[in-house]
């Protein structure tokens, strides 16, 4: 956008949206759903295998294969985000090697992406060719609606159909390291876990270090710890242990207003993100916790990635999206500030005693 266009947009914004001046920032309080932005949306980068050496335990032919994956994304005019996802997939499927065999679940799977002999992925020669198989993977990824805004492992799962939707999460950091190395370190702004900052960086509300009830008027319906998964939900980790705190105000299709429990920086704000449903994650400003709000009502997000929000700021409505039974808020507290918090990959703690220690009445 040129300077003149920017001034016009600012003037229009002043007349169509209310403004709040907070701590020296002008904050636009609109209802626009969160959208992704940042350096991951930049055009794909050209790889250089010779300059990379050994990266994240991968070398030689493995890095050459990663370079072919990156090149396939660039051929299709896909961004850096796609390059990282492609390498992440290939690590998870084949450790960046062109496999001549499959596994028990797919004995006919072959190649870098372990593509099946079902006519979808081309001939055996296609599946064994790193560039062609990567191209076919990316074409399928483009058919996944909103893949750019999905948690990466969920986006990959919708192409690969692995039996565990979060299987690929563990390979995210290595994939980011490989892409960065092959690109000569030229993915500034993308953190070690492949997350991209956005241009938001606004402050909403007065940051005073307070704590409030994350779902005012609610009651606790399920605590943290061992339990049997509710009827109608998938098993897995939740079958034996509940990693969060459930709060509910209603059994209606759209519940109460979910708010920031304390001052925090929004790190994730996504619609219908697989088993999580519509969700928001935010890191406390002291860096000690990341708060996860899950199963929110679709279409009700009020914040964007990069926003810094004060305690009590409305994030979205209580809902019933994702792998869930009934309308409620599922709240998780992760220790530290993981970029893509996921159980049981990242450690969680019981939110209830923390909230009560802060004077929050549940």
Q: pLDDT tens digits for 291-349?
A: 999 999 988 999 888 888 999 999 999 999 988 878 999 999 999 988 889 888 899 99
Instruction: For strands 19-22 and 314-317, give the pairing.
Output: unpaired
**pLDDT at residue 236, rounded to an integer:** 58
Between CA 322 and CA 233 the distance in angstroms is 9
Between CA 151 and CA 273 the distance in angstroms is 6
**pLDDT at residue 210, rounded to an integer:** 94
pLDDT of 110-157, one tens digit each? 999 999 999 999 999 999 999 999 999 999 999 998 888 777 888 899
**pTM for the full predicted model:** 0.54
Report the candidate in 281, 276, 280 with the shortest Cα–Cα distance to residue 322.
276
Instruction: For strands 241-242 and 19-22, give the pairing.
Output: unpaired
Phi-psi map region of 240: left, alpha, beta (phi>0 left; psi -120 to 50 alpha): alpha
Q: Is the peptide bond before 154 cis (omega within 30 degrees of 0)?
A: no
pLDDT of 238-290, one tens digit each? 567 899 999 999 755 557 999 999 999 898 888 888 888 999 999 998 889 99
Q: Which are the contacts of 274, defined by CB distance < 8 A and separation ≥ 6?
A: 150, 151, 154, 157, 165, 322, 323
Report the candidate in 174, 110, 115 with the shortest Cα–Cα distance to residue 139.
115
**pLDDT at residue 37, rounded to an integer:** 40
What string of DSSP letters covers 273-333?
A: -GGG-EEEEEEETTSSEEEEEEEEPTT-----TT-EE-TT-EEEEBB--SS-SSSBEEEEE
Q: Which are the contacts of 119, defined by CB distance < 8 A and separation ≥ 6?
A: none
């Amino acid at each position: 956008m040129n300077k003149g266009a920017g001034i016009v947009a600012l003037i229009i914004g002043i007349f169509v949206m209310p403004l709040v001046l907070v701590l020296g920032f002008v904050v636009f309080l609109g209802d626009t759903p969160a959208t992704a932005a940042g350096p991951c949306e930049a055009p794909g980068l050209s790889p250089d295998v010779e300059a990379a050496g050994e990266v994240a335990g991968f070398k030689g032919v493995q890095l050459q294969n990663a370079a072919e994956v990156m090149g396939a994304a660039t051929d299709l005019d896909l961004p850096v985000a796609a390059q990282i996802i492609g390498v992440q997939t290939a690590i998870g499927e084949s450790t960046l090697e062109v496999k001549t065999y499959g596994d028990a679940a797919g004995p006919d799977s072959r190649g870098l992406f372990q593509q099946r002999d079902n006519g979808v992925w081309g001939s055996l020669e296609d599946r064994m060719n790193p560039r062609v198989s990567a191209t076919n993977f990316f074409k399928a990824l483009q058919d996944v609606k909103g893949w750019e805004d999905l948690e990466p492992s969920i986006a990959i799962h919708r192409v690969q159909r692995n039996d565990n939707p979060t299987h690929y999460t563990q390979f995210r950091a290595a994939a980011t390291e490989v892409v960065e190395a092959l690109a000569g370190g030229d993915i500034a702004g993308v953190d070690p876990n492949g997350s991209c900052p956005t241009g938001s960086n606004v402050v909403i509300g007065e940051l005073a270090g307070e704590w409030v009830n994350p779902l005012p008027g609610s009651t606790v319906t399920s605590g943290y710890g061992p339990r049997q998964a509710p009827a109608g939900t998938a098993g897995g980790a939740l079958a034996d242990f509940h990693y969060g705190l459930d709060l509910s105000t209603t059994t209606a299709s759209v519940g109460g207003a979910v708010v920031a429990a304390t001052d925090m920086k929004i790190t994730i704000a996504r619609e219908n993100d697989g088993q999580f449903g519509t969700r928001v994650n935010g890191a406390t400003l002291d860096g000690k916790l990341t708060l996860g709000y899950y199963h929110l009502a679709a279409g009700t997000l009020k914040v964007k990635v990069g926003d810094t929000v004060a305690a009590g700021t409305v994030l979205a409505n209580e809902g019933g999206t994702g792998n869930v039974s009934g309308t409620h808020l599922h709240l998780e507290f992760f220790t530290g500030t993981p970029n893509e918090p996921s159980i049981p990959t990242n450690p969680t703690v019981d939110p209830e005693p923390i909230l009560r220690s802060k004077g929050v009445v549940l």
